[in-house]
Structure 1
Amino acid sequence: MEFEVKDMTCGHCAGLITKVIKDVDQSAMVHVYLDQKRVKVVSETSPDEFLHAISEAGYSPISKD
């Protein structure tokens, strides 16, 4: 699944988003493309759970799937 996170602007943002995704699913594979403001996640968990977690961290994710 892929999310666009337009308000992800730096390495700290990328790290925090990675952390909240791992908090939802510790085994998730997370790929952050800061220059494209995109996050790819490989997981069996529902995209809605990740959208909620990223939103709770203060960001505005949009599902791109």
Structure 2
Amino acid sequence: MSPETLRPLPMASTGCSCCATAPVEDRAAAEATATSAAETTTYPVRGMTCGHCADSVTTAITVLEGVEEVRIDLAPGGISTVTVAGAAAPAAVRAAVAEAGYTVADA
């Protein structure tokens, strides 16, 4: 049996990293990496009311060791959610949120 031949999508550029086809070996390695994706932890945060608030918290958390990604679902006037992907220590994330001027709410 021959290896699977991948064809580019119609109109796809072969120079684009998101549209270019990868050899089967590279795709298998990428899938293995994706399945071992970092854990995520969600924190309820009070006091964030706008995009600037979200940017401040994102900047404070992103610099922590082990953080791979920060996502914020802003709820102006309510409790926003901050989701951190990676192996960052929860105490460090809470401290970073506090240093940015916000409060992690009790669950």
Tell me the TM-score normalized by structure 2. Answer: 0.54
- In 1, the alpha carbon distance for the partners of 2:88 and 2:46 equals 23
Higher relative contact order (CA 8 A, sep 6+): 1
- Larger radius of gyration between Structure 1 and Structure 2: 2
Cα RMSD (Å) of the superposition?
A: 1.8
- Contact 2:71-2:83 within 8 A present in 1 as well: yes
1:50 matched residue in structure 2: 93
- Contact 1:51-1:62 within 8 A present in 2 as well: no
% identical equivalent positions: 31
Task: Mark the runs of 5 or more structure 1 residues left unpaired by the alignment.
Answer: none
Q: Which has the higher helix share?
A: 1
- Give the SS at the match of 1:51: helix
Tell me the TM-score normalized by structure 1. Answer: 0.84
Letter in 2 for 1:7: G
